[in-house]
Amino acid sequence: MTVPMLKIGAVLSTMAMVTNWMSQTLPSLVGLNGTIISSEGTHERIISGLYPGSEEGWQVYSTASDPDGRCVCTVVAPARNLCKRDPRNRQLRLLTEQVQNVSQSMEVVDLRTSRDLQYVRDSEPLLRGVDGRLHTYVANPRVLTTKGLQELKGQMSQLRPLLSVVEQYRLDLQTLTTLRTELLNLSIILTAIQEEIGAYDYEELQQRVLLLETRLHSCMNKLGCGRLTAVSNPITVRASGSRFGSWMTDAMIPSSDSRVWSMDGYYKGRRVLEYRTMGDFTKGQNFVQHLLPHAWAGTGHVVYNGSLYYNKHQSNILVQYHFRSRSVLLQRSLSGAGYNNTFPYSWGGSSDIDLMADETGLWAVYTSIPNAGNIMVSRLDPRSLDVLQSWDTGFPKRSAGEAFMICGTLYVTNSHLAGAKVHFAYHTNTSSYEYTDIPFHNLYSHISMMDYNPRERALYTWNNGHQVLYNVTLFHVIRSDG
């Protein structure tokens, strides 16, 4: 009786020591006293996809002083969650998972030991009875009768399960020895990480980095505009619809609208699918249908401040359709603009009139016979669709694959096929142009829609039945009077 009870005591004592070590030593090793390392969260918005790598993140290209002595810094658009890509962060998460696994193993041993201890306690009266009989028979063998022997055998049979309990104790002691070794290895690794990081609380540092990233994004939004210098690798969001079409989110800044719209085809379409979120669009779920009163032409549609602006089929009439009220608010002719494949992009598709939005407002890209087929850019009043100002870029529209506006500058691609690049830029603020050489990967070899969204700072494209995003790198010059 004494030996099993001693083994039980040893197991319980060992478990208490290890549990106490885990609760006190592990947090102090990494400076996490009073904190909890949480698992990595998820992002419902597509933002996480828009900034796929640190090579496309915040970078300070140069710092200098202007003639007045003010600091001038050149940076590009940011990436998000850089801290989560820190290998030390991942290492800590893996170690945390290992600690949790060890804790779970100890809980199993604890439950099994408690159960078996109760079994031993329940068997204690029987053990005492057998022990007393054995002492009596050893002291006086003559009192041993056939009946007494049978009773003793029966009692011994009832105690036989105790052998498996004792064997389990032996195995549990081996398990605890293994757990002790694992915990020792963990402590060595955690100590090394602490020495590398320093005396700071890692989670506190992570929060500070996230705060700085938020401030950087706020700064970027205040900056507003920059010059396009690069286009990232493509990010395929979904494969749906026919070869031609368009998809978009609301381009109005600021806006909390998370809906996504999809319009399949370029000829006489009327059905617009509205998805609640980007995640729903990716999965093809949670959508409603709008049936437009007038068919559209081309793929140059844009959603701006809750309304769809599109070109009415076989006309140069612009239509404003309000999604919430499901009604047409406005129709106005774009005077002189060609339509019905008179002056389309190089891929055709009735792409004569291309409506788009950027940080500065609503735009129409088109051409007319008096302009000899060269691209015209007109800024529109979104409330009346009046033309506020127009520019003749001098670039032939039929030679353009697609076009988009960023910060008042029209960027034109040289093709809609493989090998396309951003070839031409027209700056409306200076009425000047330049030829550019900004390549991008035309993954599916046939782009029929390419529009910039200033909220997401990304290019939305419809590429041969695939909905694809591109991150853009914008060149900013930050001037401070400080």
Q: What is the pLDDT of residues 363-410, one digit of tens each?
A: 999 999 999 999 999 999 999 999 999 999 999 999 999 999 999 999
Report the range out of 29-33, 118-122, 173-177, 313-317 with the highest average pLDDT.
313-317
- The per-residue pLDDT for 236 is 95
Q: Which residues, 6+ apart, have CB-to-CB distance to 259 below 8 Å?
A: 249, 250, 274, 275, 276, 277, 323
Query: Which residues contact residue 427 at a Cβ distance below 8 angstroms, ignoring those fewer than 6 apart?
Result: 408, 409, 433, 434
Position 95 scores a pLDDT of: 75
| pLDDT tier at 202, thresholds 50, 70, 90 | low
- The owner of tokens 């996480």 is 48
The rounded Cα 314 to chain-centroid distance in angstroms is 41
The residues spanned by each domain of the chain are 98-196, 224-473
Q: Which CATH number fits domain 224-473: 2.120.10, 2.60.40, 1.20.1250, 2.30.30?
A: 2.120.10
Residue 7's pLDDT is 38
Cβ atoms of 113 and 15 within 8 Å: the answer is yes
Is residue 14 over pLDDT 70?
no
pLDDT at 40 over 50: no
The pLDDT value recorded for residue 33 is 39
For tokens 């930050």, the residue is 478
CB-CB contact of 155 with 125 (8 Å)? no
**34 or 442: which leads in pLDDT:** 442
Tell me the two tokens of residue 434: 């330049």
Q: Phi and psi dihedrals of 306, rounded to 5?
A: 85, 0
Q: What is the pLDDT of residue 194?
A: 66
CA nearest to 337, candidates 304, 300, 308, 306: 300
Please report the pLDDT score of residue 39 as a whole number.
35
Q: How far apart are CA 379 and CA 390, in angstroms?
A: 6
Query: For the chain, how far is it from start to end, CA to CA, in angstroms?
Result: 82
**Mean pLDDT for the chain?**
78
User: Using CA atoms, how far apart are residues 278 and 249, in angstroms rounded to an integer?
Assistant: 9
pLDDT higher than 90, residue 98 = no
Q: Is pLDDT at 11 greater than 50 in this prediction?
A: no
Q: Is 81 exposed, middle or buried (0-12, 13-18, 19+ CB in 10 A)?
A: middle
Convert the pLDDT of each residue in 288-341 to its tens digit: 999 999 999 999 999 999 999 999 999 999 999 999 999 999 999 999 999 999
Residue 69 zone, left/alpha/beta (φ > 0; ψ -120 to 50; rest): left
Measured CA to CA, the distance from residue 113 to residue 111 in angstroms comes to 5
Q: Which three-class secondary structure string do you get for 167-216?
A: HHHHHHHHHHHHHHHHHHHHHHHHHHHHHHHCCCCHHHHHHHHHHHHHHH
Q: Do residues 442 and 417 lie in contact, with contact meaning Cβ atoms separated by under 8 Å?
A: yes
Q: Which of 223-237, 306-320, 338-352 has the lowest mean pLDDT?
A: 223-237
User: What is the Cα–Cα distance from 260 to 249, expressed in whole angstroms?
Assistant: 5
For residues 416 and 71, the model is more confident at 416
| pLDDT the model gives residue 226 | 83
Mean pLDDT across 253-260:
85
